[in-house]
A and B are shown apart, each in its own frame.
Chain A
Amino acid sequence: MVTQTVKCPTCKTTMTISGEPGEKIQLACPECHQKGIYRIPGEKTSETLSSQPATIEVSGLTKTYNHVPVVNNVSFRVNKGEIFGFLGPNGAGKTTTIKAMLDLIHADAGAITINGIDVRTQGKEAKKYVGYMPEKVAFYDNLTALQNLCFYAEIKHVSKEECIGLIEEFGLGETGKKRVGKFSKGMVQRLGMARAILGNPPILILDEPSGGLDPRGVVLIRDKILDMKKKGTTIFVSSHILGEIQEICDRVGIINKGVLVAQDSVEGLSKKLNLKPQITVSIDKMSPSIENAVKKLPGVESVLAKGNTLEIICDGAMKAKVILAITDAGGNIQNLQTKEPSLEEVFMRYTEA
C-alpha cells in the first residue's frame, strides 16, 4: 500500500490518498468538488497479480461456429477488485467471450470460473455473484422501468426500495407509468446499468456500457463504475471508447480475430511495444541550437519543433536530461507536459493486420 499527497489541479487543495501501485483512484476535491482519476505511480508486479485471488478465470476458451473459430484458446484472469478492460475490433470475439463467461453459449473447449465456481457445470451458483449489462440492452416493452427492475429484483431477492432508489439514481424517476418501449436509447441504457448493479453484485460484466449514451450519460456510467470499484467490485468491461478504458481500467486485454493478443496494464503494454511518451516543451525563444541539443541526446527518438514548442519522443526517464539540455542551450522553459502513450496507439499496434 502506498500513501501519497496530491493537489487538486483547479484549486490546488492538498489531498492524501492511498492504494496499490498502478491503481486508479477516483478523487473528488473537498473544496471545489472537481472530480478526477489519479493513478498511483508504479506497476503491479506479476507476483502481486498472481498472489491475488482471481475472481474471473478463463482458460483455453474456444468457440467455433460452422467449424470457424470465433474465439480461439483465450485465457485471462481478472483479479479481485480490479477493472479489466476487454478490447478488440468489431467481430473480434469480445461478446462471444462474455457470453461464454455467463454460460449463454456453450463453449467447445476451455474452463471458466467465477469466484472459483465452474460456470459450465454450476452456472446458476456462479451467476449469483454477477451483474451483467449486455451490449444490446433490452427490457419488456409493455412494463414500466420499476416493473422491469422489480422483476429482476425478485429473482435476485432484492427489495423494491432498492429498485426505486436505483431508478432515481439513474435519473429515471420521472418516467413513472411510462412503458420502457417508449424510452429513448439512452434511458434504456441507464436502466440497463441499474439492472446490472441491482443487489450490489461483487462482479460486474459490462459489454459496451456507454453505447448510445449522451456525454452526461457516459459520465454517469463511468462514475458509477468507479464507485462500484471503490466498494470492492470486480469489473470486466468491454468498450470501444478507448479513452474511457484507459482512464478507468487497471489492466486491459486485447482480442483480435478470436485470439487474445495482449493483456497487461496500458503502461505495461506500451513498454512491451517499446512505445515512448511524448514530452512537449514550450520555450520562450526557440533556436536551432536548442533543437539540435535535444536531438543529440541518446535515447531521444524524434524531435519536432513547432513554433516555440518542441515535441520530443523519448524514454520517460530522459525527462531530466531533456530539461538540462534545453537550459544549457539557452532555452527558458515556460511549460512542460508529458503524454504517456495512448491506449489507441497500443490498440492499433496489437490489432493491425
Chain B
Amino acid sequence: MQTNVVYSIAKKEIMDNIRNKWIILVAAMFAILTLVVSYFGSLGTSGWQNLGNTISGMTELGSFLISIVAFMLGYAAIIGEIERGSMSSLLSLSANRFEIVVGKWLGLGAVLCFTIFVGYGFAGILIAINVSNVDILEYLVFIGLTMIFGLVFLTVALFFSTMFSKRSTALGGAIFLWFLFNIILPIVFVGLLATTIDFTQITMETTLKAPDWYFVLNLFNPISVYSTLITITIAPVQSSTGSGFIPNPSWYSSSLLLGVLVSWIIVFFILAVWRFQRKDI
C-alpha cells in the first residue's frame, strides 16, 4: 500500500467537503442541537441540565442524526464517483482499489469525526461554563465513542456504495438501513421480548429481567450497542438514568460493546474492499 496515494485521496475528500461547506453545516447543526438538548434536556425542566442528562439526551438524538449524517457522507463515496466518471481516471493511475477504499474511509472518517468533535466540543465548552462539576474526561470519552459509532455507519455506507450499481439504489439502501436500525429492529426485538412477558405481573416499580437472547439480538443493532455503551461507560449517565426498565445483563461490558462496534467497522470495511475489488467500473 502506497501511503502517498491514501493520503492524497483522504486529503481530497476533506477538501471536497470543506469546499461544499458540508462540514460547517453539520458541525453547526450538532452544536445547536446539543445546546438545545442541554438546556431543555428533560420534560418539565428548563435551564442547563447536568452532564448525565445532557449526554443521555445527546445519545438518543445522536443515534438518529449521526447515523443519517454518516450515511449521507458515505453512500455515494464509490458509486458516485463511478457514475460521474471520475473513478476511471483515479483507477487509471497507479492507485489500487484497496488504497482508494482506505483513502476514502480515512478522509470521510476525518470529516465525520471533525464535525462531531467541533459540534459536540463547542457545545461542551458552553455546557462547562454554565454547569458546575462537568467531568471533561467523561465528555471526551463520550465524544470518542460517538465518533466510533459514526464510523460504523460510515463503513456500512461505504460498503453500500460498492455493493450497488446505482447511486440512487445505494441511497435507497442506506435509508432502508437507517429505518431498520432506528425503528424496525428495536420494535421487532421489543415485540419478541413482549411475547415472553406476563404483563399481569408488571407494575410501575417492576424492573424486567429480559432473557439473554434479547441482549444478544441487540448486539446486532449498532444503535442499541452505542446507547448501551454510553450508559454503562459514562458514569454521569449511569447515575442519572439508573438501571432502567430493562436492566442490562452482567455480561454486558464496555469492552464487549466497544468490541462489537469495532467489529462492525472491520467486517464492513473488509466487505467494502472485497466488493470493490470485483466491481467493473
Stretch at the interface among A152-160, A209-217, A244-252, A300-308: A152-160
CB-defined contacts of A125 to chain B, threshold 8 Å: 94
Segment of B4-12, B55-63, B241-249, B259-267 engaged in the interface with chain A? B4-12
Q: Tell me whether A134 and B89 are in contact in the complex, defined as CB-CB below 8 angstroms, given that A124-B94, A142-B19, A156-B94 are known contacts.
A: yes
Contact of A140 among B86, B91, B93 (CB under 8 A): B86
Identify A106's interface contact among B7, B16, B278, CB under 8 A.
B278
Which A residues between 142 and 192 are near B, CB-CB below 8 angstroms? 142-143, 147, 151-152, 154-157, 179, 192
Q: A104-B281, A134-B85 are in contact. Are A140 and B95 (CB under 8 A)?
A: no
**In the complex, what residues of B have CB within 8 A of residue A262's CB?**
none
- Taking the nearest CB of chain B, how far is it from the CB of A141, in angstroms? 8
In B81-100, the 8 Å CB interface with A consists of: 84-86, 88-89, 91-96
Contact B94 A102 (CB under 8 A): no
Contact A155–B92 (Cβ < 8 Å): no
A104 contacts which of B9, B92, B94 (Cβ < 8 Å)? B92
- Cβ–Cβ contact A142 & B20, under 8 A: yes
By a CB distance below 8 angstroms, the chain A residues around B281 are 99, 104-105
Map CB proximity to B onto A103-132 as digits: 1 under 8 Å, 0 otherwise: 111100000000000000001110110111
Partner of B96, one of A123, A142, A179: A123
A138 contacts chain B at the CB level, 8 A cutoff: yes
Evaluate whether A151 and B8 lie within 8 angstroms (CB atoms) in the complex, with A106-B278, A128-B94, A140-B16 already known. Answer: yes
Main secondary structure on A side of the interface with B: mixed
User: Which residues of chain B have C-beta atoms less than 8 A from A127's C-beta?
Assistant: 92-94
A151, B88: Cβ atoms under 8 Å? no
Q: How far is the CB of B59 from chain A (nearest CB, A)?
A: 33
Q: Are B92 and A142 in contact (CB under 8 A)?
A: no
Size class of the A contact interface (CB-based, 8 Å): 20 to 34
Q: Mark A222-247, 1 if CB is under 8 A from B, else 0.
A: 00000000000000000000000000
From B11, B15, B91, give the contact of A103 (CB < 8 A).
B91
In whole angstroms, what is the CA distance A155 to B85 when docked?
18
Q: Are A136 and B4 in contact (CB under 8 A)?
A: no
B198 interface residue, CB < 8 Å from A? no
Give Cα A51–Cα B234 distance, bound, in whole angstroms. Answer: 74
Given contacts A142-B15, A155-B93, 15 further A-B pairs with CB under 8 A are A99-B280, A102-B91, A104-B88, A104-B280, A127-B93, A127-B94, A132-B89, A142-B16, A143-B12, A152-B93, A154-B11, A155-B94, A157-B4, A195-B89, A205-B92
24 A-B contacts (beta carbon < 8 Å): A102-B88, A102-B91, A104-B88, A104-B91, A104-B280, A124-B94, A128-B94, A131-B92, A134-B89, A136-B88, A137-B85, A138-B84, A138-B86, A140-B12, A140-B16, A142-B16, A143-B12, A143-B19, A147-B15, A154-B4, A154-B11, A155-B5, A157-B4, A192-B89
